[in-house]
Structure 1
Amino acid sequence: MTPAPLVLLDLDGTLTDSYPGIAASARVAFTTLGLPVPGDAALRRFVGPPVVESFPRLGVPPERVPEAVAAYRGYFRTTGMWENSVYDGITEQLRTLRDAGVRLAVATSKPEVFAGPICERFGLAPLLEGVFGAPPDHVPSSKATVVAAALDALRPAGAVLMVGDREHDVHGARANGVDCLGVAWGYAQSGELRGAGAFAVVDHVDGLAAAVLAALDRPAPPGAQPGGVVSGSPRPGEAPTTGT
């Protein structure tokens, strides 16, 4: 019997629309520091990468980044983390993958202490084998280390695939020998995912399960709906490499 494949799913911008809470938390941080608050286009770049990387990119002096992160976390843990919603259709797509025998887990740059409760609150946890996120802010971390931790804990025997909406999802997966399928409904800039090396990009939520199953060379379960358009060329019959 072929071992069950494992799909690692990014959270922000892939499963949930977390921009409202992240942007509000960032505005609080800039205001607290007395710095100009970036516009929406710049704040969208907060979604995905660790905030300790995002603040310097938007003009926070390196020596004030810890202060900015503390202000951000203060709002986020009480209010911002719940200013969030699951994209329409995502839950159904995950159920289709589970019905097809695919193992699912979240691998996110968001601190695990927040990612777990968010998945619980919004009903995603029952569909997942685990939620893996970043350690506390003072511990160095990257998407690659989060993916590595997930692989180490779940020990997949079959094919592994990452699904994400930003370039760091692609880079973090590839650092562990895992291919990445991009999604277009998140926060990537035009061309970002393909430029980073995603082998395909799913244009619509309703195409997610079909694209994942095609990439894994697995049939869809009875009654599953066909997916939407996929930009790029998933490789029929060629399973992604594993990270183990």
Structure 2
Amino acid sequence: MTPAPLVLLDLDGTLTDSYPGIAASARVAFTALGMPVPDDAALRRFVGPPLADSFPAFGVPGERVPEAVAAYRGYFREAGMWENSVYAGIPEQLVELRAAGVRLAVATSKPEVFAGPICERFGLAAHLEGVFGAPLDHVPSSKATVVAAALDALRPGGAVLMVGDREHDVHGARAHGVDCLGVAWGYAQPGELAAAGAVDVVADVGGLAAAVLAVLGRASGDDGAVSGSPRPAGAPTTGT
């Protein structure tokens, strides 16, 4: 039997609309530093990259980045992580993929200590074999290191695909020879995913499972059919 394929799913902007809590946490941080608060459109750029990269991109001096991160995390732990929602239709797409024999796990740049509880609270964990995220901010990390941790823990024997909404997902996956399928409902700038090298970009949530199966089918040469046994729903997660 052909080994089941593994799909690594980004969290923010792919499975959940986390912008409200991220933006609120960033506003708290800029206010605490006495710096101008970016507008809503600019704050959307906070979704995806590590905070240690985002704050300098908005003019926070390097020596004040730890202060900004601490203020951000203070609000995020208290309230911001729950100012979040699963995109309509995502659970059904995950069920469809599992029924097709696809293994699923989350691989996110969000710290794992937050990603795991978010997946539990919003009912995503039951569909997943694992939730893999970054360490807290004093430990260097990138999307590539998160993908590496997921691959090391899950040891896939079949095809592997990343699904995400930002260029960081594409680059992090490509560092391990893994293709990335982009999603258009997240936080990417126009053309960002294609320019980064995503194999395709899915226009809406309702097309996610079909697009994933099509890419996996091309990789295996079987026109979208996926073989292998799905993991039972509700199986315990790994890495949280």
CA root-mean-square deviation: 1.2
Aligned equivalent of 2:221: 237
Aligned equivalent of 2:213: 213
CA contact (8 A) 2:112 2:133 kept: yes
Is residue 1 of structure 2 the alignment partner of residue 17 of structure 1? no
TM-score, length of structure 2 as denominator length: 0.91
TM-score, length of structure 1 as denominator length: 0.90
1:167 corresponds to which letter in structure 2?
Answer: E
CA contact (8 A) 2:159 2:220 kept: no
C-alpha offsets along residues 173-230 of structure 1, whole Å, 9 cap, x if unaligned? 000110000000000000000000001000000000000001111xxxxxxxxxxxxx
CA contact (8 A) 1:42 1:58 kept: no
Aligned equivalent of 1:43: 43
TM-superposed CA distance for 1:237, in Å, is 2.6
1:78 corresponds to which letter in structure 2?
Answer: E
CA contact (8 A) 1:215 1:237 kept: no
Aligned equivalent of 1:180: 180
Distance 1:214 1:29, change over 3 A: same
Partner secondary structure for residue 36 of structure 1: coil
CA contact (8 A) 2:11 2:108 kept: yes
1:135 corresponds to which letter in structure 2?
Answer: P
Structure with larger RCO (C-alpha < 8 A, sep 6+): 2
Aligned equivalent of 1:229: none
TM-superposed CA distance for 1:165, in Å, is 0.1
CA contact (8 A) 1:111 1:133 kept: yes
TM-superposed CA distance for 1:238, in Å, is 7.6
Question: What are the equivalent positions in structure 2 for 1:105-124 lying under 5 Å apart?
Answer: 105-124=105-124
Is residue 30 of structure 2 the alignment partner of residue 30 of structure 1? yes
Question: What are the equivalent positions in structure 2 for 1:71-220 lying under 5 Å apart?
Answer: 71-217=71-217
Partner secondary structure for residue 216 of structure 1: helix
4+ runs of 1 displaced by more than 6 Å?
Answer: none
1:95 corresponds to which letter in structure 2?
Answer: V
Distance 2:166 2:209 in 1: 19
CA contact (8 A) 1:184 1:203 kept: yes
Distance 1:172 1:238 in 2: 27
1:51 corresponds to which letter in structure 2?
Answer: L
Aligned equivalent of 2:231: none
TM-superposed CA distance for 1:235, in Å, is 6.8
CA contact (8 A) 1:167 1:192 kept: yes
Partner secondary structure for residue 182 of structure 1: strand
Structure 2 runs not aligned, ≥5 long: 224-240
- Quote the sequence identity (%): 84
Distance 2:220 2:149 in 1: 29
Partner secondary structure for residue 181 of structure 2: strand
Distance 2:45 2:38 in 1: 11
Distance 1:178 1:165, change over 3 A: same
Distance 1:238 1:216 in 2: 9
Distance 1:72 1:174 in 2: 30
TM-superposed CA distance for 1:41, in Å, is 1.2
Is residue 53 of structure 2 the alignment partner of residue 53 of structure 1? yes
